[in-house]
Structure 1
Amino acid sequence: MSSSAETPLHAVDLIRKKRDSETLTAREIEFLVTGAATGSIPSDQLAAWLMAAWLRGLALDEVRALTLAMRDSGEKFNPHSLGKVAVDKHSTGGVGDKTSFLIAPLAAACGVAVPMISGRALGHTGGTLDKLESIPGFRTALSLSEFESVLRTCGASIVSQTPKLVPADRVLYALRDRTATVENPGLICASILSKKLAAGLDALVLDVKTGSGAFLRKYEDAEFLAALMVATAEAAGTRTVALLTDMNQPLGYTAGNWIEIAECIALLRGERPAASEDLRELSLILAGWMIYLGGQAPSAEAGYQSAERALAGGSALTAFLKMVKAQGGDLSVFNDLKASHKPAATTVLAAWESGYVAEMDTTVIGWAVQRTGAGREKAGESVDPHAGIEFHAKRGARIEKGQPLATFYGTSETHLAEAEALLRSAIHISKESPSAGPPLVSRIITQEIAREYLA
């Protein structure tokens, strides 16, 4: 008589088991993940299991098993030969969210290794890789050996997922996108963490967005996801903290591709435009946690101070330029940021009445950015490196009728007309000054808090 560990598994049995609200074992989940990575389980059966998981939910043990099985479904990167603590940051996605271009060089300048594996724009949120590729020549598709070489030289490297890194996630995510099973905290957690843990991280800082432009708009949903990711990553041996941050308006004053890089370069050069202050502050907070978890500061507050010194002293700018050059980027485009911006079409949206910028539907704003040509509607589409929107007023600002609210940069006049209509519908102008919005960082979830929250 064979043991249960040797009993053959069948996908249809596991679909039925999850459909009936039962908990799958680690071995059963590993079977499904292997089937996704190798193609041995048909996509219709994988899709059926995903729908069952979406409807019935995943237990904590299932989420952990799914995360680890996906992490181990392909190649893994080992950064420990670098002789530094490896720390990364992940954001759940937002509009104008460009902190990666600041925190990676900030943490690297303070002695932390930052192996950052990032994604592309899809839906209403922008993509880190698309923004970097607006720098002529910049290569994001590096082999693991090239990735290690850049990290050794520069301390930070931002790259795309290799074909052999977490192949199961590539299959399962594509199915989730096509079967309306994306918005499940367990599936989101496993997808995000499997890629981050495959990079061999010692520590991870999570930026979980909340508000009108967040992937999860409800605060309690974002809070649960943050706690789930912290607990799951910690169980896998990676020190992790999550910050719940505001996404009720674009971060900084640009949303697009090149224009976001240009805003970050200005900050790295020591400039402090008022409209970039939220971006600067959040980047320093996130970098402070990375530096602390990376063992280069006794606390997150001390890490913040180290990051601020690296910003003021220019070492973060040096680290960023060094990374760009190592990955093939043309540094001459930074000589004149405005001259390097070459949109095909430009238009300005003026305020249609006087008052205060009271509310912003940031998801709709994200779609407006996408319509300029800066984003994509489906995977594989090209993006316009020079498209995007520059905002001239933030929430709470007093504006007069006819005053510029935003400048649009696009692929064509047609693109801009649709983007302008969307942005106009997304901004509410009020006669009364709005109440103060939520804080930039509303909560910090550590391992202890996550354990309590999920108990």
Structure 2
Amino acid sequence: MTMHAVDLIRKKRDGEEFTPEEIRFLVRGAAMETIPEEQLAAWLMAAFLRGLSLAEVDALTTAMKLSGEVFDPAPLGRFAVDKHSTGGVGDKTSLLVAPIAAAAGLVVPMISGRALGHTGGTLDKLECIPGYRTQLSLREMEQVLAKVGASIVGQTKSLVPADRVLYALRDRTSTVESPYLICASIMSKKLAAGLNGLVLDVKTGSGAFLRRKEDALFLAALMVETGERAGTRTAALLTNMEQPLGRFAGNWVEVQESLDLLSGRRHPLNEDLREVSLALAGWMIFLGDAAKTAAAGRQRAEDILESGQALRIFTDMVEAQGGDTSVFAEPEKFHRPAVRRDFLADRSGYLAHVDCTLVGWAVQRLGAGRERAGDPVFAHAGLEMHAKLGDKVKVGKPLCTLYADFDGRLTEPEILLRLALVIADEPTPAEPLIQDIITASNRKQYLEAARHP
């Protein structure tokens, strides 16, 4: 029988389960643009509200993976591993873990995304580097990997084209937060890269798409399950996103902060970024059999970072993809926002709470993100935090500094930050940075816990 999108929308709306053939029909329609956007949007909302079974998630992930070209890293002769974050504010760990893992002898074919909702995009950050090309063919990516060991690129029309369409629609239809759709989107891209191993950074807290820890744990277990079913060694770290990661959130400022850490320049306000990056890289190294344990992998990652090897690989990767690395000599001088303004504390006390999602929207409104797919972003927009949760602050002193391309950009972010940053008389207890680790051996218990709360 001929399938019709409206019938499938109705079927999912009514809570019924799709067959693999029906899912392939929808995915093919998205990839080939034969199903109108309004019908795809309606299906996304039905899936968001009704959820998907494990079988549907598997079928959706596989269909999306096979909707275009698939990369085969086997000719490179090395273990292919990657890391993916579910999205955060100030999260620039990709710029650190990719060169660290490559320096450990692995290859890292990293297919990254752009700003989505209140979170930043790795591609937007890298494109602040003059000349850096994120749109490579699979053959070009293979050449960079053979030469350098790491390549961070974006999706092309030929690579997971169905996700390119659905990803943009999710942002515009408030269906981003579905764990099933997040899983299929992330895992289809990662599995299309032919990975042998994958480490997932699943955010929880006020800056995450899934704020509740229970929801984040379920998503982590779902992605580990999907990866393991596909034959990819997979682990997930549940990490704290109750405040921006590191000192900076934006585009170039995050590249600048990453260069500082790669160059061995540490700062008290980005120790959290350093620690999460080393933990993620450690798991990548462990899954790639370049260390006997994850702890040994973390130690090797730190040794690589301190030796300068990761900086050399990052620099080589940027040059191999057309980037001008002369700006790395003095990155703070390349940072040229048209306007900057300090956001001052309105009372003394302790920074007791941060609504990290509101901070993310403030960064977006400064010009670092986009409201619609295709909108331009301002390379030098963003903010610098001057305090972390629990820090003592004084009235009239800067809590953060805002960067934008014109004065009119500052008004709404300042309103959002006044709501987001809460100063109290006493500090609140700090949550652990890494809250849980989900692996092949314990994933089932998290899936069962979500099924039977």
CA distance in structure 1 between the aligned counterparts of 2:333 and 2:39, rounded to whole angstroms: 52
Aligned residue for 1:90?
84
Out of 283, 287, 300, the residue aligned to residue 289 of structure 1 is 283
Q: Which of 193, 207, 215 is residue 221 of structure 1 equivalent to?
A: 215
Q: Is the 8 A contact 2:183 2:219 kept in 1?
A: yes
In structure 2, the gaps of 5 or more residues are 449-453
Residue deviations 1:429-453 (CA, integer Å, cap 9, x gap): 111122x221000000012211222
Please report how far the alpha carbon of residue 86 of structure 1 lies from its aligned counterpart in structure 2 after TM superposition: 0.6
Cα distance change, pair 405–113 in 1 and its aligned pair in 2 (3 A): same
Change (3 A) 1:106 1:367: same
Query: How far apart, CA to CA, are the structure 1 residues paired with 2:25 and 2:142?
Result: 31
Aligned equivalent of 1:173: 167
Asked if residue 327 in structure 1 is aligned to residue 321 in structure 2, the reply is yes
Match among 440, 443, 447 for residue 436 of structure 2: 443
Residue type of the alignment partner of 1:31: F
The whole-number CA distance in structure 2 between the counterparts of 1:293 and 1:166 is 25
Using a 3 Å threshold, how does the CA distance of structure 1 residues 13 and 386 change in structure 2: closer, same or farther?
closer
Residue 239 of structure 1 pairs with residue 233 of structure 2: yes
Find the counterpart in structure 2 of residue 4 from structure 1. none
The sequence identity of aligned pairs, in percent, is: 64
**CA 1:112–1:16 in 2, change beyond 3 Å: closer, same or farther?**
same
Q: CA RMSD in A?
A: 1.4
2:368 counterpart residue number: 374
Give the 3 Å change call, closer, same or farther, for CA 367–188 of structure 1 in structure 2: same
Give the counterpart of 2:396 among 399, 402, 405: 402
User: What CA distance in whole angstroms lies between the structure 1 residues aligned with 2:341 and 2:91?
Assistant: 23
For 1:49-448, list aligned pairs within 5 A: 49-434=43-428, 436-448=429-441
Q: In the alignment, does 2:446 pair up with 1:453? A: yes
Offset of residue 8 of structure 1: 4.4
Distance 1:71 1:363, change over 3 A: same
Structure-1-length-normalised TM-score = 0.95
Match of 2:451 in 1: none
Distance 1:221 1:342 in 2: 40
Distance 2:144 2:238 in 1: 31
Deviation at 1:422, TM superposition (A): 1.8
Cα distance in 1 for residues equivalent to 2:152 and 2:378:
20
* Cα 1:421–1:304 shift into 2, 3 Å: same
Q: In structure 2, what is the Cα distance between the partners aligned to 1:147 and 1:100?
A: 17
Query: What displacement does 1:46 show?
Result: 3.1
In the aligned structure 2, how far is the partner of 1:174 from the partner of 1:357? 35
Distance 1:10 1:262 in 2: 50
Conservation of the 8 A alpha-carbon contact between 2:217 and 2:446: no
Native 8 Å contact 1:93 1:215 kept in 2: yes
Deviation at 1:123, TM superposition (A): 1.9
How many residue pairs match? The answer is 448
Distance in 1 between the 2:320 and 2:76 partners?
17
Give secondary structure in 2 for the equivalent of 1:243. Answer: strand
Structure 1's 453 and 423: CA in aligned 2 closer, same or farther, altered over 3 A? same
Determine if contact 1:122/1:378 at 8 Å carries over to the other structure. Answer: no
Q: Which residue of 2 aligns with 1:3?
A: none
